[in-house]
Amino acid sequence: GKELREDNKDYQQVLLDVRRSLRRFPPGMPDDQREGLQEDLIDIILHVLKRNPQLHYYQGYHDIVVTFLLVVGDRLATALVEKLSTHHLRDFMDPTMDNTKHILNYLMPIIDQVNPEVHDFMQSAEVGTIFALSWLITWFGHVLSDFRHVVRLYDFFLACHPLMPIYFAAVIVLYREQEVLDCECDMASVHHLLSQIPQDLPYETLISRAGDLFVQFPPSELAREAAQQQAERTAASTFKDFELASVQQRPDTVLRQRFRERPRGEDRTKSISTKPRTNRFVKLVVMGLTVALGAAALAVVKSALEWAPKFELQIFP
């Protein structure tokens, strides 16, 4: 109702997303019927968010809700979506995208287990996993044009582990193995190729294959590789010269070098008497640099967290 819309901080964003969702409705549907369903869609989303203040709306959530609305109607869709939002979709509805990005980190380890050649090619192209983000958070509802394929996948995902959509994403990439390997090995080319999902995929075969991969390589066995994917994306870990440069610039290294360059005739007693002071000085310098670097790192993290929601808003057209 009116009060629900006026009091909800997400209303304007939900309204914009729902207005852009025309292609999610069956072709040829009368305008008045579609507009009525869009109003129901807004109410369902706002109702679930109001009842569950710990949940946060994200762009693409409406693509999932509209699928349930079209299949079961507004009343049952409200109950189903609320249950789904506190379970399968819970990680997508956090204040940040951290958990969502962690789920995406499972994609490359799955591909690596099945086809290391494709995995290494994608790593060389530095394509990352952002191409699969809309697949994951909308359960492919945003990228598939045939409604029959969408509801078939929803049936599959509802009956499976919450990570099954990322296994299905990996299966799609593996199915297009030859296209990927024939592509130019650069980020833009590979990203463009993978972002465009063919509409004539053998869905039943891929669904079966995704289920097989989940049994062969369960999430518990891929968790370490997924964590490593995240670690390898930090700037320090990918800067190959960082370790060498830091060793050469360590204060204790510089001081030892200068100490060796001192005149040989200098009094040994004086050298011994100043050694403790030098050690204390080294410790103080190292500690000061450590604190400074820690503060810089916190500033970078804070900036990244402030930037991430802005980037998220640019995912969907």
Give pLDDT, residue 199.
86
CATH classification of the domain holding 51: 1.10.8.1310
Any domain includes 26? yes
Any domain includes 85? yes
Quick check: 288 pLDDT over 80? no
Q: How many whole angstroms separate alpha carbon 310 and alpha carbon 96? A: 11
* Long-range contacts from 92-98, C-beta under 8 angstroms, 24+ separation: 92/58, 92/60, 92/61, 92/136, 92/137, 93/55, 93/56, 93/57, 93/58, 93/61, 94/56, 95/56, 96/305, 96/308, 96/309, 97/308, 97/309, 97/312
Are both 116 and 41 inside the same structural domain?
no
| Domain count of the fold of the chain | 2
Q: What is the pLDDT of residues 121-164, one digit of tens each?
A: 999 999 999 999 999 999 999 999 899 999 999 999 999 999 99
Q: What is the DSSP letter of 82?
A: H
Are both 42 and 121 inside the same structural domain?
no
Are both 117 and 192 inside the same structural domain?
yes
Contacts of 176 (CB under 8 A, 6+ apart): 193, 194, 198
Q: How many whole angstroms separate alpha carbon 76 and alpha carbon 68? A: 8
Q: What is the pLDDT of residues 170-213, one digit of tens each?
A: 999 999 999 999 999 999 999 999 999 998 999 999 999 999 99
Q: What is the pLDDT of residues 132-141, one digit of tens each?
A: 999 999 999 9
Q: How many whole angstroms separate alpha carbon 200 and alpha carbon 145? A: 10
The torsion defined by the Cα of 304, 309, 310 and 315, in degrees rounded to 10, comes to 120
Any domain includes 40? yes
Higher-scoring residue by pLDDT: 307, 124: 124
Quick check: 4 pLDDT over 80? no
Are both 73 and 139 inside the same structural domain?
no
Give pLDDT, residue 258.
55
Q: pTM of the prediction?
A: 0.71
Query: Would the CA dihedral through 4, 26, 61, 217 be positive or negative?
Result: positive
**Residue ranges making up the domain that contains 16:** 2-92
Whether the Cβ atoms of residue 141 and residue 133 lie closer than 8 Å to each other:
no
Percent of the chain with pLDDT over 70: 72
Any domain includes 260? no
Are both 17 and 113 inside the same structural domain?
no
φ/ψ of 19, rounded to 5, equals -65, -25
State the distance between the two ends of the chain, measured CA to CA, in whole angstroms: 28
Higher-scoring residue by pLDDT: 227, 304: 227
Any domain includes 298? no
Final residue belonging to a domain, choices 92, 116, 141: 92
Give pLDDT, residue 263.
52
Higher-scoring residue by pLDDT: 305, 16: 16
Final residue belonging to a domain, choices 221, 245, 266: 221
Are both 81 and 119 inside the same structural domain?
no
Longest dimension (CA), the chain: 99
Are both 176 and 151 inside the same structural domain?
yes
**Which of 169-178, 254-263, 265-274 shows the lowest mean pLDDT across its residues?**
265-274
Are both 117 and 205 inside the same structural domain?
yes
Whether the Cβ atoms of residue 44 and residue 77 lie closer than 8 Å to each other:
yes
Whether the Cβ atoms of residue 95 and residue 309 lie closer than 8 Å to each other:
no
Final residue belonging to a domain, choices 92, 124, 150: 92
Any domain includes 112? yes
Are both 63 and 108 inside the same structural domain?
no
**pLDDT tier at 229 (50, 70, 90 boundaries)?**
low
